[in-house]
Structure 1
């Protein structure tokens, strides 16, 4: 068991790494929300137009991030050696609202390169452990040297009220700490500079920067407390892991092109405002003047004509022998829109997002053409299922350990996560494909899962079929007879007599 000094050292190290990751996480979150600054602009353009387009963003980042997440849907968990999905695991998943919470976790993983899942037992309900999806800005996991799977420690840090809180998760215990609130956007070192500038007493400065064990006596919980699962209960869900280095966010690669698209739109709006109509200029003439009258109607001088009135009345009197009128045509705004379409095409190619998701143009595409257009997105989604599924399988294992089902937890190590189909098909296409699979012998339950039903729904449908068969025994016997007959049974040339399958069918009838 770790000592207090060892626990504090781990918290400090993990917190420093968490702070290092924070800037990219915050930037990707802002871009996902559409809070994108005007970049790549010249100093002069930014000076005159930066504030004008400050709140505008043609937000492609959100489309790129959401497109695979909307196809990631967990339908169940199945332990190794089991023929059906585990009902107890699915009940825990549903009780914790993870069918919706998981979507938040998957979105966070796509944006921030990782998200986390925390599992802990509920003393008030031992059958349903608490499962929560956590943001990458608050959690971090440390692994054993040389491993990307075996977790050594985990930390969750957050703020509530006027305090910072931290929980350190170790394989055999967990520690809870707190301290006075520090600004989350600064490192502990820079926060210390701020405190020093307040001329606080040295002892007070140390107290503000140091984590202290939380007093859990009011809740009747010890600190530290034993971790009965024997594993770090915080699991990382990486977005796109690599052999060396950190996982990759889908958003980080889109940021630069998103900035370029926003700048092009800003330039297009500026051109549209200033040069989208034909312009005329009068040369060689003095500005028209009109008499200036006093209150008695007497001419007391001259004053220039209000040029805005010419624009409204569309009439002007221009005199002078050298006067002439020239014009220049309106600006061609299609140059900018063409560049934007090319940029959006680059985003589609780089992220394997179907172009009709981004451009929104579809011209009588057939079903096969639509499937081909979405192949890249389907493969991208299947890759995320592979990476995320490994973490969720560990989550299922932790749930079983928290329930005290050690044998089933051991089987879950080689189990699988069940997902909804990544491909988007019409009902007619799907029904036709399933019918052909049924004809070559695939069982009904497997077909129902492919149709998109969850394992729980499949069990309900099977029960309904059994009840229908009990209500109609003749129909059930006819179906059994039809299934047992061969393709040539009943044909005069098939043979001299009935085969074994026919005998069984007749006996059943």
Structure 2
């Protein structure tokens, strides 16, 4: 059990580390949303054109981040020693809306290098724990020294109304704190000292919460799990977005320069040389000529009429700028981005012409491997989430079995129905069971159970077809035909 001073010190240390991470998290989030500052521009270009392109972004970051997430779909959980997925666990998953929220958690991890999931029991429904995915900007987990899995503590910090809130999760208890949000105006040293005192975390009132504070943690482990994106042995995990930002900035600058060139030099330009600028009389209020003034050249440009004077006057012309040079460089930059992130070219460039199914599969090999890597990284965390769900329900045996269990995923590879059906038929011919084939087809374990029940019902209604199906399953190609025992005895007697 931690004392109040120990809990406050732990909150302060974890909050400091969380604030250190916020810079990269906020930057990556802005880039994913298409809010890109103009970078790599010269001082002159930025001074004259920076504000013009402040709201423009050719956003490839979103495509790179979304491409693996759209193929990360959890279909079930299977505990060690079990032949089928766990129905109770899938019910918890569905009731908590995690078929949708898990996608938000995966996207958060891809963008911010990590996301989190929190599991806690519901006093009103002990069989249905509350499971939520949490953002990396609000949560942090610290581990035991020398371990990347044994969690020592977790913190969730957020703002609501006029206060900051924080919840500290420990293996045996949790603490809830609150502090007021203060203004940011300049203040005297005395006012700053008062603010520092007010900004200290204080335990939340038990009467307000309607529960003790601190309260015991019946699960016996820290109930928050980290989902790292590209975990490293000693360093922080890596975001898929961080390595894209520099090339994204370069692409945005090239577009800005091309737009500027298009505005100023995309058409052939003509210039008058050796001529005086046309002048017109300048009149006073009485209509008398009092001088001369230059002609408004914009008026000539609109009316397409120009009066040229001077014996040496002539017209010269220079060619329009070659804007294709910019588009070619942009295309090369996008190709580099695709190679570095293993995003298929047709996701980014959008050029597809007479590509066969095999060619498309080959083009997506890098993305498929990228998705399968994330299934490994996130799968370990998801197994721990499933274990916490069983602990919250008081099912310790199932929790222990889930530590060595498996997460069931939808196929990361994109195939046509014809290709998939042909592959499954060949697997059936060599003896793979129907339920396994149904899972490979993409059905969830619940859907597979329903299909199996419907098949059984159909066989009951049509026993002849059921017998024929059973016979065809026994007599696979190459197998010897079945011999009845009486026929075998007759042959022996003969």
Structure-2-length-normalised TM-score: 0.94
Q: Deviations over 1:415-464 (max 9, x none)?
A: 01110000111111111111111111111111111111100011111111
Inter-partner Cα distance in structure 2 for 1:381 and 1:488: 39
Q: Displacement of 1:482 after TM fit? A: 2.1
Give the alignment of 1:39-438 within 5 angstroms. Answer: 39-181=39-181, 197=188, 199-200=190-191, 202=193, 204-290=194-280, 303-438=293-428
CA RMSD after TM alignment: 2.2
> Which secondary structure does the structure 2 equivalent of 1:240 belong to?
coil
Q: Displacement of 1:17 after TM fit? A: 0.5
Inter-partner Cα distance in structure 1 for 2:79 and 2:182: 44
Q: Deviations over 1:292-325 (max 9, x none)?
A: 6789998776554432333233233323220111
User: Which consecutive residues of structure 1, in runs of 5 or more, have no partner in the other structure?
Assistant: 184-190, 504-509
Inter-partner Cα distance in structure 2 for 1:502 and 1:265: 84
Inter-partner Cα distance in structure 1 for 2:384 and 2:440: 24
Q: Displacement of 1:170 after TM fit? A: 0.4
Q: Indicate conservation of the 8 Å contact 1:175/1:225, yes or no.
A: yes
> Which secondary structure does the structure 1 equivalent of 2:140 belong to?
strand
Change (3 A) 1:488 1:235: closer
Q: Displacement of 1:290 after TM fit? A: 4.7
Inter-partner Cα distance in structure 2 for 1:206 and 1:61: 40
Q: Indicate conservation of the 8 Å contact 1:164/1:182, yes or no.
A: no
Partner of 1:498: 483
Partner of 1:14: 14
Q: Displacement of 1:500 after TM fit? A: 6.6
Change (3 A) 1:258 1:500: farther
Q: Give the aligned length.
A: 488
Q: Displacement of 1:286 after TM fit? A: 1.2
Change (3 A) 1:302 1:17: closer
Partner of 2:491: none
Inter-partner Cα distance in structure 2 for 1:502 and 1:325: 109
Q: Displacement of 1:471 after TM fit? A: 1.0
> Which secondary structure does the structure 1 equivalent of 2:133 belong to?
strand
Q: Deviations over 1:28-68 (max 9, x none)?
A: 00011111100111111111111000010111111111100
User: Which consecutive residues of structure 2, in runs of 5 or more, have no partner in the other structure?
Assistant: 489-494
Q: Deviations over 1:341-383 (max 9, x none)?
A: 1111111111111111111111111000000000000000100
Q: Indicate conservation of the 8 Å contact 2:71/2:371, yes or no.
A: yes
Inter-partner Cα distance in structure 2 for 1:249 and 1:284: 61
Inter-partner Cα distance in structure 1 for 2:119 and 2:53: 44
Q: Indicate conservation of the 8 Å contact 2:182/2:195, yes or no.
A: no
Q: Indicate conservation of the 8 Å contact 2:181/2:199, yes or no.
A: no
Q: Indicate conservation of the 8 Å contact 1:484/1:502, yes or no.
A: no
Change (3 A) 1:221 1:478: same
Change (3 A) 1:487 1:500: farther
Q: Indicate conservation of the 8 Å contact 2:74/2:99, yes or no.
A: yes
1:480 aligns with 2:465: no
Inter-partner Cα distance in structure 1 for 2:228 and 2:191: 42
Q: Indicate conservation of the 8 Å contact 2:429/2:476, yes or no.
A: no
Q: Deviations over 1:156-175 (max 9, x none)?
A: 01111111111000001001
Q: Displacement of 1:83 after TM fit? A: 0.4
Partner of 1:506: none
Q: Which has the higher mean CA deviation after the structures are superposed, 208-217 or 234-243?
A: 208-217
Q: Deviations over 1:54-109 (max 9, x none)?
A: 01011111111110000000000000000000001100000010011011111100
Q: Indicate conservation of the 8 Å contact 1:400/1:406, yes or no.
A: yes
